Amino acid sequence: MRTKKFVTAINCMDGRVQLPVIDWMKKQYGVNFVDMITEPGPNKILAENEPYNLVDSLKNRTEISVKKHTSTCIAIVGHYDCAGNSVGREKQIDQIRTSVKRIQSWGFEVPVIGLWIDDNWNVSKII
C-alpha cells in the first residue's frame, strides 16, 4: 500500500482560500493530503497569542496532524479581504512572520512556512 503523505495548513475559514492553499501545498511538497485547520484570521490569533483558548486549540489540532498523520510541514496563511482580520497586507504579513515563530516554539520539529493569498487567489510563500 502506498504511503500517504500529509502537510498542515493553519488557514482562514474563508472558503475562497481553501483550494488555492491545498493545490499549492500539494504541488510544492508532493503530498497526498493537506490537513486544514481553520479559524477566522488565524494569523492574527497566533500573532497576538489570544484568545488563549483558540491558540491552544490551534496547537492541539496541529499536534494531531504532525503526530498522527506525520505531517512534514506546517503553513500559516493570511489572505486578502479577510473578514476575521480586516487589516492590510503588510500588517498581515507581519502577523504571519510572528505566527511562524510562535508555531516553531511549539517544538514539532518540522518546517513552518508563511503563505499569503492575494486578491487573485494566488499563493505566495512569505517565509
pTM of the entire structure?
A: 0.95
For the segment 72-93, what is each residue's pLDDT rounded down to a tens digit?
Answer: 999 999 999 999 999 999 999 9
Q: Please report the sign of the dihedral spanned by the C-alpha atoms of residue 85, residue 36, residue 28, residue 15.
A: negative
Q: Please report the sign of the dihedral spanned by the C-alpha atoms of residue 7, residue 10, residue 14, residue 16.
A: negative
For the segment 14-55, what is each residue's pLDDT rounded down to a tens digit?
Answer: 999 999 999 999 999 999 999 999 999 999 999 999 999 999
- The CA distance from 32 to 68, in Å, is 15
Name the H helices within 30-123.
42-48, 52-68, 89-105
State the amino acid at position 60 in one-letter form. N
List 117's β-bridge partners, or say none.
79, 123
Question: Averaged over 94-104, what is the pLDDT?
Answer: 98
Of the candidate CATH numbers 3.40.50.2000, 3.40.1050.10, 3.40.50.300, 3.40.140.10, the domain formed by 6-125 belongs to 3.40.1050.10
- State the pLDDT at residue 4: 82
